[in-house]
Amino acid sequence: MGPDANEHSELSPIQLRVRALETILTEKGYVDPAVLDQIVERFQTVIGPHIGARVIARAWTDPAFKAMLLEDATKAIASLGIDSQVGDHLIAVENTPGHHNMVVCTLCSCYPWDVLGLPPIWYKSAPYRSRAVSDPRGVLADFGIVLPEDTQIRVWDSTAETRFLVVPPRPAGTDGWPEERLARLVTRDSMIGTGMPLQPEAAPQ
């Protein structure tokens, strides 16, 4: 048994399968492993919910920006000069005390990568994809969220290339906070509609 075989014995079937795929594609010149490394690096370092949080914090402090965001989110975010380019067709929807928006993709797992990074496992899972459109209150309960009975719930099923960003309500007790500090209250889930922003006392330092 050569060193190669020893190494393979440590690998799971899916690891072996993906390694085989990458090897073949590389040998045929379709992909370059060094380029693949760079793609991964970018996904790990450039995009993430910190981008969305910055957008929300700006919307909380700048009414003109918020109006522009709700009118054309792609254009509004472009005006912030964020490094990663936000693609076309981004739509921002506002959560208020009487109206709660929640985003899902029942057919696959469409998600606003540009502003939130890669989706969490639960967003891509069958429990969320199946129940979000028929039992959103039950799904919210799984996240520990209970909304008043008279709150209108709107679920957005991402069935095309439009993408949705929820603008959560600004927490009370944050008057005068600078944007950077406010951004630390904006959770990923609050921008999907399955969570709320952190309360001021819970803000990470």
Active site residues: 105, 108-110
Contact 55, 186 (CB under 8 A): no
Q: Is 29 in the site for another protein (CB under 8 A)?
A: yes
Token code pair at residue 159: 């069935």
Q: Is 203 in the site for another protein (CB under 8 A)?
A: no
Q: Which is nearer to another protein, 65 or 122 (CB)?
A: 122
Q: Is 5 in the site for another protein (CB under 8 A)?
A: no
Q: Is 106 in the site for another protein (CB under 8 A)?
A: yes
Token code pair at residue 126: 């069958």
Q: How far is the CB of 111 from another protein (least distance, A)?
A: 11
Token code pair at residue 98: 């009487």
Among 67, 142, 146, 202, which residue sits at the site for another protein (rule: CB under 8 A)? 142
In 3D space, the residue among 200, 205, 202, 195 whose CA is nearest the CA of residue 52 turns out to be 195
Contacts of 43 (CB under 8 A, 6+ apart): 117, 118
Q: Which is nearer to another protein, 46 or 62 (CB)?
A: 46
Token code pair at residue 183: 């951004």
Interface pattern 51-80 for another protein (x via CB under 8 A): ------------------------------
